Structure 1
Amino acid sequence: MDKLDARPLRCPLPLLEVKLWLRQAQGGQSLTLWLSDAGSRRDVPAYLRRAGHAVVVVEDTPGQLELVITKAP
């Protein structure tokens, strides 16, 4: 499983990093993603779900959001 710590990044950089990962990833491949920026915490999961990818929230605290993303086939 790939990992991306986007906590130091501010919107829209985390979304751009996720899009780059999606381009190179194979269907069914997973990514653990950590976010802290409020805009990214809202926008990244919404974008992924609209695009048909699976998103599982592992941890959602005031300081961070941890997701596991599985690329759609």
Structure 2
Amino acid sequence: MNIIDLTAFRCPLPLVKVKLALKQLKSGQKVRVLLSDPGSKQDVPRFLKKVGYHHEIFTLDEYILALEITK
């Protein structure tokens, strides 16, 4: 599983990078995404739910949110 650390980026760049990463995944593959920007921590899960990607949310600490996304 690939891990994409987007904690250094501010909204909307993490959402754009997640969309690009999902295009490269094959069906059944997983990717873990790390987010710290408050806007991205809301926008990325909302986008995944809207388009129907299965994802699990993990809170690593009070600042970092990890998403495990399955295509």
Give the TM interval when normalised to the shorter protein.
Answer: over 0.9
In the TM superposition, residue 60 of structure 1 has moved relative to its aligned partner by: 5.4
Q: Equivalent residue for 1:9?
A: 9
1:16-27 residue pairs with structure 2 within 5 A? 16-27=16-27
Q: Secondary structure at the match of 1:15?
A: helix
Give structure 2 stretches of 5+ with no counterpart: none
Q: What residue number does 2:51 align with? A: 51
Q: Shift of residue 59 of structure 1? A: 1.7
Using the alignment, how far apart are the partners of 1:24 and 1:63 within structure 2? 28
* C-alpha distance in structure 1 between counterparts of 2:15 and 2:43, whole Å: 8
Q: Deviations over 1:14-71 (max 9, x none)?
A: 0010111111111111011100000000000010111110110122532110110111
Q: Which amino acid aligns with 1:53?
A: Y
TM-score, length basis structure 1: 0.90
Task: Spell out structure 1 runs of 4+ moving beyond 3 A.
Answer: none
Question: Aligned partners of 1:36, 1:55: CA distance in 2, in Å?
Answer: 17
Paired amino acid for 1:10: R
